[in-house]
Structure 1
Amino acid sequence: METIEESVFARKRWVLEKMRAFGFRPVGDGYVLERSFLDGDFKAVLSVTEKGAVTGRVIDAISQDDYYQLRQKNATGAYVNTVRAAYEQLLEDVAAACCQDVLFASDQANRLTQCILERFQVEPDFPWERAERYQSYGTFRHASNRKWFALIMRVKRAVLDKDGNPALVDVINLKIPPEHGEALLQLPGVYPAYHMNHKTWISVVLDDTQTDEAIMAWIEGSYRLTE
């Protein structure tokens, strides 16, 4: 399951100069920020690795213990909701001060977005951005007929591997000739399309399992098939 921190920072990239100015201090191979909130009743400790991964702790100022209720789904009382909302607001403030926005969570998705812009002069649109579950889904459309030729989504690994893995990953859905499906599905990182016709669409994981060049070739094929 996605953590509070992952949800806030998924489509952000850290800017080191801004982090330092905001109060992050170097610790080991990363940076740490400590901030009190809710009138000093709690302390947030954020740790950011050199690769930008974020973890956080919320510590009760009186007991000096981690406030575990923060992450318990079944903890829905007024007090825990107040703490949770205040912590999320603190994270949003940190993101606004220390990060720059990116369109997608994975580096490969953002690189391919730039390649699509340069090759086809198409930028993604986000038709479900008001729906929390689907707000990161970006579609790439033909200017002429508004048909999709690519769709980038952030989904759980479990929907691809059917193994219960809750980790989130960016995937791109692309149209293919039906006769190419069997061969493509033998390749690592390529799956039957999530939420689309398995005979004519594939999902490709954007975690650098496949190269940008290989995926761009499939994108170009999808573009032609949807004209």
Structure 2
Amino acid sequence: MRDFYHARIENPWHKYPAFFIIRHEHGKKWFGLIMAASEYTLGVSDDREKLIDAINIKLDPRDVEFFKDQPGFLPAYHMNKTHWVTVLLNGTVPDETLEELIKTSHDLTE
């Protein structure tokens, strides 16, 4: 991903070692947040111990509205829920779809 999008992957929060932002190489804007968060934090279940991998990506509000009710998609964790969505990285969302959505997020934040 780093080479394809000319992006930097950073962990700016020492308190959250399993959270990484994907930032445009030349600039401060970021287009993804990769995380291992508890199912409780993401609103998947009441389990505060079980971690789940996910990514926050920016989309057009119409796409956010469409995807929010699809399997593998959640309201954006800790982001503007009109423009961002959380995608579970557990195989529910096909890789091709995920790749397309990451590209969209990249393009929307340039």
- Larger RCO, structure (CA 8 Å, separation 6 or more): 2
Matched, 1:217 2:100: yes
Equivalent residue for 1:120?
5
For residues 89 and 98 of structure 2, what CA distance do their matches in structure 1 show?
Answer: 9
SS of residue in 2 equivalent to 1:179 = helix
* Greater share of strand: 2
Matched, 1:145 2:27: yes
> Please, which runs of 5 or more residues in structure 1 have no aligned partner?
1-115
Equivalent residue for 2:65?
182
Measured after TM superposition, the shift of residue 121 of structure 1 is: 2.9
Equivalent residue for 1:170?
53
* Greater share of helix: 1
Letter in 1 for 2:88: V
Measured against aligned partners, the alpha-carbon deviations of 1:47-87 in whole angstroms (never above 9, x if no partner) come to: xxxxxxxxxxxxxxxxxxxxxxxxxxxxxxxxxxxxxxxxx
For residues 191 and 162 of structure 1, what CA distance do their matches in structure 2 show?
Answer: 9
SS of residue in 2 equivalent to 1:170 = strand
RMSD of aligned C-alpha atoms?
1.4
Measured against aligned partners, the alpha-carbon deviations of 1:90-143 in whole angstroms (never above 9, x if no partner) come to: xxxxxxxxxxxxxxxxxxxxxxxxxx1242132411112x32xx1121111112
Report the number of matched residues: 109
For residues 7 and 79 of structure 2, what CA distance do their matches in structure 1 show?
Answer: 22
Letter in 2 for 1:176: L
Larger radius of gyration: 1
Matched, 1:157 2:42: no
> Please, which runs of 5 or more residues in structure 2 have no aligned partner?
none
SS of residue in 1 equivalent to 2:65 = helix
Q: TM-score, length-normalised on structure 2?
A: 0.90
After superposing on structure 2, the runs of 4+ consecutive aligned residues of structure 1 that deviate more than 6 Å are none
For residues 46 and 25 of structure 2, what CA distance do their matches in structure 1 show?
Answer: 38
